[in-house]
């Protein structure tokens, strides 16, 4: 696991060094630079920071090259089938100087060229410089699901890339500029969908894409996609056979991702996915598995039904014989939020970034690698919005007069903050606003926070005018096209995999784990497991039932004899965060400061009276605007860090504070 950086026809060794240095948290074990200038004036430079996981010796130093130094690579990730690939390549005459997966990629590229990406099982973001033709050719690639990040900037015949945006901001020519269209998306979804970022001119290489940079020209293509059968498909496997096959494929995926030369552990929430991973890890080793559960003091939990019950994972850990560490935290969230915003690069208004960081920070003291349950909901239909589609189908068939009465009644309800009904009321209100829409629009609406009406009231007239032709959901609508003939549940799962999972969940897990120099692996995103689940499991066995649909039915069935019924019955549970409590207490002063009328007016983006109304209604209990206020708070923190201050200066300050915190 590493941080990568690179330049083509741009900058110099000093710039490359800064780009690499600012990503030191991604690889505290080693650092390296390689560069080459060519007779025609072109230039290529690679940088790498290494977190040593496989082959801890100096043989794993990067950037790495082949025997005759004609092919170079800077690489971030883990290839789980590298041992098999290495044997195959050795049989074809390739010689290896290390026991790393990095070197396997180099020789696989020599053997198969750009098609090498089809053979890789794992997570990766890398760039190869091929000098064999005499002039440099770059090959860039990102893994099938986008587990590892890959950012780039192109200016004319110049190219720069890195694992984090803050590295690109070390290039003197690149300024931090807000992209208004991305702001529109951020307010809609809490985050900015790939391939755009919040920075004008800085992009993400999309998941399952690769690119070639030759003679100043960049060519990007998609090399893989997750396929689903048409809605009228006939499925040949019985339910029993599917459960057995899912269990076996999942077991193999977990075991493959336990390969490590450093200590390994796992997240353990009260939910099904992390519990299943831990159970399979326990079956694969005779040593007690280290597990980490985060929880908050009781005062945070009032009215927050989404917070995990820490006793559920504790009981499971005892049953499985794990070394479970229950991390009870009362964080200084006012200090954490700016620092984590810097680590995220972009404003990401999911408070789960804080809990993800806290559990990784504690786990780092004992384990360098953690296994996570990300991807289980996207593979097997685990989100409430998947069940909500079933309910909405029935709701749309009811008389319109009844629907109008229900929606008016729900809209009139107070937020019920501070009670156990808060979550149910919030969900019911959200569903009522979307249930009468067609399925595609309802799905997108259920993913939004500031809807079009709220944003219209929020923006200043000038910003409204500039965004008048901007559709924040354009990316979502485009992704419906490849699965247009599939069952609608399959369509939802496809969009979740292509947009929500990669742009939010995988991004913040990478950034927050790397902030603590910890590698997170995701067994559910084993490519062969995902392809099997998408193509062979009928939607009716992922989400079973109608009025009370059972999420992830086939996976629960597969784990029936492995996990206790208490876990199998658990609703979705992750490492949630007490946002409402923080806004009312720890962050109250920050809200009043950062979202003050004078500050909002200075930005020129929002109407101060609209922001003031959100805060007032939330504090008065009339509406639950906790997520919207969290968005505005996150955004203002981001603008202060990345837009107001010189990026290189802020990066050095935060980097130093991070080193002091982990010393």
Residues 58-80: tens digit of each pLDDT: 889 999 999 999 999 999 999 99
Between 95-104, 119-128, 468-477, 648-657, the lowest mean confidence (pLDDT) is in 648-657
Helix or strand or coil: residue 636?
helix
Average model confidence (pLDDT) for the chain?
91
Question: Is residue 663 pLDDT above 60, yes or no?
Answer: no
Q: Which CATH number fits domain 2-222: 3.40.1780.10, 3.40.50.1980, 1.10.275.10, 3.60.20.10?
A: 3.60.20.10
- What is the edge-to-edge ordering of all strands in the sheet holding 290-295? 323-328, 290-295, 264-267, 369-371, 519-521
Mean pLDDT on 220-235: 97
Asked whether the CA dihedral 604, 607, 612, 617 is positive or negative, the reply is: negative
Residues 164-185: tens digit of each pLDDT: 999 999 999 999 999 999 999 9
125, 342, 628, 457: CA torsion to nearest 10 = -100
Mean pLDDT on 577-605: 94
How far apart are alpha carbons 521 and 254 in whole angstroms? 9
| 556 — pLDDT class (breaks 50, 70, 90) | very high
Please, what is the angle between helix 180-189 and helix 626-638, to 10°?
A: 150
How far apart are alpha carbons 323 and 257 in whole angstroms? 19
Confidence at residue 425, expressed as pLDDT on a 0 to 100 scale: 74
Question: Is residue 423 pLDDT above 70, yes or no?
Answer: no
Question: Is residue 112 pLDDT above 90, yes or no?
Answer: yes
Please, what is the angle between helix 239-256 and helix 272-284, to 10°?
A: 70
Confidence at residue 206, expressed as pLDDT on a 0 to 100 scale: 98
Residues 494-535: tens digit of each pLDDT: 999 999 999 999 999 999 999 999 999 999 999 999 999 999
Mean pLDDT on 262-271: 91
Mean pLDDT on 539-566: 93
Please, what is the angle between helix 384-396 and helix 439-446, to 10°?
A: 140
Question: Is residue 662 pLDDT above 80, yes or no?
Answer: no
The fold of the 231-576 domain, in CATH, is Rossmann fold (3.40.50)
Confidence at residue 522, expressed as pLDDT on a 0 to 100 scale: 98
Mean pLDDT on 588-606: 97
Confidence at residue 527, expressed as pLDDT on a 0 to 100 scale: 97
Residues 365-412: tens digit of each pLDDT: 999 999 999 999 999 999 988 988 877 777 777 787 877 787 777 777
| 14 — pLDDT class (breaks 50, 70, 90) | very high
Confidence at residue 422, expressed as pLDDT on a 0 to 100 scale: 67
Residues 484-501: tens digit of each pLDDT: 999 999 999 999 999 999
How far apart are alpha carbons 92 and 475 in whole angstroms? 43
How far apart are alpha carbons 317 and 309 in whole angstroms? 14
Confidence at residue 93, expressed as pLDDT on a 0 to 100 scale: 95
Rounded percentage of the chain residues whose pLDDT exceeds 90 = 77
Between 249-263, 304-318, 384-398, the lowest mean confidence (pLDDT) is in 304-318
Mean pLDDT on 23-38: 96
This prediction's pTM: 0.94
Confidence at residue 546, expressed as pLDDT on a 0 to 100 scale: 79
Ranges for all domains in the chain classified under CATH 3.60.20.10:
2-222
Confidence at residue 645, expressed as pLDDT on a 0 to 100 scale: 77
Confidence at residue 574, expressed as pLDDT on a 0 to 100 scale: 54
How far apart are alpha carbons 182 and 190 in whole angstroms? 11
| 302 — pLDDT class (breaks 50, 70, 90) | low
Question: Is residue 656 pLDDT above 70, yes or no?
Answer: no
Is the model more confident about 272 or about 571? 272
Closest CA to 308 of 474, 316, 473: 316
Residues 35-50: tens digit of each pLDDT: 999 998 899 999 999 9
Q: What is the separation, in whole angstroms, between the first and last Cα of the chain? A: 21
- What is the edge-to-edge ordering of all strands in the sheet holding 2-8? 30-37, 43-50, 2-8, 158-162, 151-155, 203-204
What Rg do the C-alpha atoms of the chain give, in angstroms? Answer: 24
Ranges for all domains in the chain classified under CATH 3.40.50.620:
231-576
Between 48-57, 231-240, 386-395, the lowest mean confidence (pLDDT) is in 386-395
């Amino acid at each position: 696991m590493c941080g990568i950086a690179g330049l083509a026809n741009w900058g110099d060794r000093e710039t490359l060094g800064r780009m690499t240095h600012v990503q030191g948290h991604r690889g505290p074990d080693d650092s390296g630079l390689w560069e080459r200038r060519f007779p025609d004036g072109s230039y290529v430079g690679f940088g790498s920071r290494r977190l040593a996981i496989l082959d801890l010796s100096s043989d794993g130093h990067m950037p790495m090259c082949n025997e005759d130094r004609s092919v170079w690579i800077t690489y971030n990730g883990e290839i789980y089938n590298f041992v098999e690939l290495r044997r195959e390549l050795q049989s074809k005459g390739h010689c290896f100087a290390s026991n790393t997966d990095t070197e396997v990629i180099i020789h696989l590229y020599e053997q198969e060229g750009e098609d090498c990406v089809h053979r890789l099982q794992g997570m990766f973001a890398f760039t190869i410089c091929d000098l064999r033709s005499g002039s440099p050719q770059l090959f860039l690639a990102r893994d099938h699901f986008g587990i590892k990040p890959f950012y780039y900037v192109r200016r004319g015949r110049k190219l720069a890339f890195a694992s984090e945006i803050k590295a690109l901001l070390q290039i003197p020519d690149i300024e931090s500029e807000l992209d208004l269209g991305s702001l529109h998306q951020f307010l809609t979804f809490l985050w900015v969908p790939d391939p755009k970022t919040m920075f004008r001119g800085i992009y993400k290489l999309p998941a399952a894409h690769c690119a070639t940079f030759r003679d100043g020209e960049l060519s990007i293509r998609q090399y893989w996609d997750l396929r689903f059968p048409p809605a009228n498909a006939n499925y040949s496997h019985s339910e029993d056979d599917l459960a057995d096959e899912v269990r076996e494929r999942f077991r193999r995926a977990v075991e493959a991702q336990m390969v490590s030369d450093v200590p390994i552990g796992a997240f353990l929430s009260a939910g099904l996915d992390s519990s299943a991973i831990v159970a399979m890890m326990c079956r694969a080793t005779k040593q007690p598995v280290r597990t980490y559960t985060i929880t908050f003091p009781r005062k945070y939990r009032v009215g927050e039904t989404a917070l995990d019950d820490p006793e559920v994972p504790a009981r499971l850990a005892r049953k499985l014989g794990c070394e479970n560490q229950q991390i009870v935290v009362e964080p200084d969230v006012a200090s954490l939020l700016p620092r984590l915003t810097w680590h995220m690069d972009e404003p990401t208004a999911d408070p789960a970034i804080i809990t993800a960081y806290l559990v990784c920070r504690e786990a780092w003291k004992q384990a360098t690698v953690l296994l996570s349950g990300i991807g289980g909901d996207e593979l097997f239909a685990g989100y409430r919005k998947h069940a909500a589609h079933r309910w909405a189908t029935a709701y749309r068939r009811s008389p319109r007069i009844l629907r109008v009465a229900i929606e008016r009644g729900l809209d009139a309800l107070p937020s019920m903050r501070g009670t156990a009904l808060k979550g149910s009321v919030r969900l019911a209100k959200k569903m009522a606003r979307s249930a009468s829409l067609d399925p595609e629009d309802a799905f997108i609406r259920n993913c939004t926070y500031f809807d079009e009406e709220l944003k219209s009231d929020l923006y200043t007239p000038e910003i409204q005018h500039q965004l008048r032709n901007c559709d924040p959901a354009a990316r979502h609508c485009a992704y419906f096209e490849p699965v247009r003939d599939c069952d609608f549940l399959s369509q939802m799962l496809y969009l979740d995999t292509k947009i929500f999972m990669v742009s939010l969940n995988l991004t913040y897990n990478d950034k927050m784990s790397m902030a603590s120099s910890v590698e997170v692996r995701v067994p559910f995103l084993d490519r062969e497991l995902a392809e099997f689940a998408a193509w062979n499991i009928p939607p009716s066995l992922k989400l079973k039932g109608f009025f009370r649909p059972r999420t992830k039915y086939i996976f629960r069935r597969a784990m029936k004899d492995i996990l206790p019924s208490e876990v199998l019955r658990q609703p979705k549970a992750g490492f949630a965060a007490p946002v409402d409590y923080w806004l009312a207490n720890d962050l109250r002063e920050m809200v009043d400061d950062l979202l003050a009328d004078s500050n909002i007016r200075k930005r020129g983006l929002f109407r101060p009276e609209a922001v003031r109304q959100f805060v007032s209604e939330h504090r008065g209990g009339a509406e639950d605007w906790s997520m919207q206020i969290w968005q505005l708070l996150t955004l203002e923190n981001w603008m202060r860090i990345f837009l107001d201050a010189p990026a290189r200066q802020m990066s050095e300050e935060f980097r130093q504070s991070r080193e002091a915190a982990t010393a």
